Amino acid sequence: MSDNSMTVKEAGLRGGMARKAQNPDYAELGRMGGSKTAKRGKDYYAAIGRIGGSTTRDRGADYQAMGRAGGAKVRELVRLGRAVDAAEGGAE
């Protein structure tokens, strides 16, 4: 990493602080969002998590198929890359 690099978190904080400096209303929006989250409570978000988890379990076969297809594509690209490297190495 170069000396000017920063993490994703640092970049987000930096952008958020710049946005907040441009428009002070963003701080109020953040407070409103935080109070809404607190008002809904942990049970509300736990229920959302349970629904998402059950959906994921129900669609497990679909996700497995997508994973296999993605893996096959990666293997094919690696194979092609090795073939190109071998062809370039053999031409020298």
Tell me the average pLDDT across 54-83: 92
**Residue 26 CB-density burial (10 A; 0-12 exposed, 13-18 middle, 19+ buried):** middle
Tell me the average pLDDT across 7-16: 87
Instruction: Delimit the domains of the chain by residue range.
Output: 1-58, 61-92
Decide which of 77 and 55 is more confident: 77
Considering the entire predicted model, what is its pTM? 0.39
pLDDT 10s digits, 33-53? 888 888 999 999 999 999 988
What are the two backbone dihedrals, phi and then psi, of residue 49, each rounded to the nearest 5 degrees?
-65, -40
Q: Is 30:36 a contact under the CB 8 Å cutoff?
A: no
Q: Is 19:26 a contact under the CB 8 Å cutoff?
A: yes
What is the C-alpha separation between 25 and 18, in angstroms, rounded?
13
